Amino acid sequence: GENVEQHPSTLSVQEGDSAVIKCTYSDSASNYFPWYKQELGKRPQLIIDIRSNVGEKKDQRIAVTLNKTAKHFSLHITETQPEDSAVYFCAANNNAGNMLTFGGGTRLMVKP
């Protein structure tokens, strides 16, 4: 089955700096890669996703890149703000039924 690894597990940045979180996956059949943000005790919220037919997608301060050959994808947050502090999860689908396999999460802390 699919295996998703996520790094780093914690990330601390100064407000205004950029943050990068990286994930690798194992199943070459995966074709959908969402990123979720989760605040303590709350539901995971989709922040951006990418499908395998594109290499990069951007939405304001957030961008995701995908390298299908190397089987890795990354989340980039620019001009970080204290409200970006949360746990971020990457995921990859299993093409058989769209079940998502999640990475272990990255706790991002943005210091004012």
Partner 1 sequence: DSGVTQTPKHLITATGQRVTLRCSPRSGDLSVYWYQQSLDQGLQFLIQYYNGEERAKGNILERFSAQQFPDLHSELNLSSLELGDSALYFCASSVGLADNTDTQYFGPGTRLTVL
Residues that bind partner 1 (CB under 8 A): 31-32, 34, 36, 41-46, 49, 51, 89, 91, 93-105
Which of residues 7 and 32 has its CB atom nearest to partner 1 in the complex? 32
Closest distance to partner 1 from the beta carbon of 47 (Å): 11
Report the run of H or E that residue 10 belongs to, with start and end. strand 10-14
Closest distance to partner 1 from the beta carbon of 20 (Å): 21
Q: Is the dihedral of CA 69, 72, 73, 74 positive or negative?
A: negative
Give the chain's radius of gyration (CA, Å). Answer: 13
> Which structure tokens are listed for 6?
């996520």
The answer to whether the beta carbons of residues 4 and 92 sit under 8 Å apart is yes
The answer to whether the beta carbons of residues 74 and 23 sit under 8 Å apart is yes
Closest distance to partner 1 from the beta carbon of 11 (Å): 17
Which of residues 78 and 101 has its CB atom nearest to partner 1 in the complex? 101
Closest distance to partner 1 from the beta carbon of 41 (Å): 8
Which of residues 74 and 101 has its CB atom nearest to partner 1 in the complex? 101
Which of residues 21 and 44 has its CB atom nearest to partner 1 in the complex? 44
CA distance 100 to 93: 4
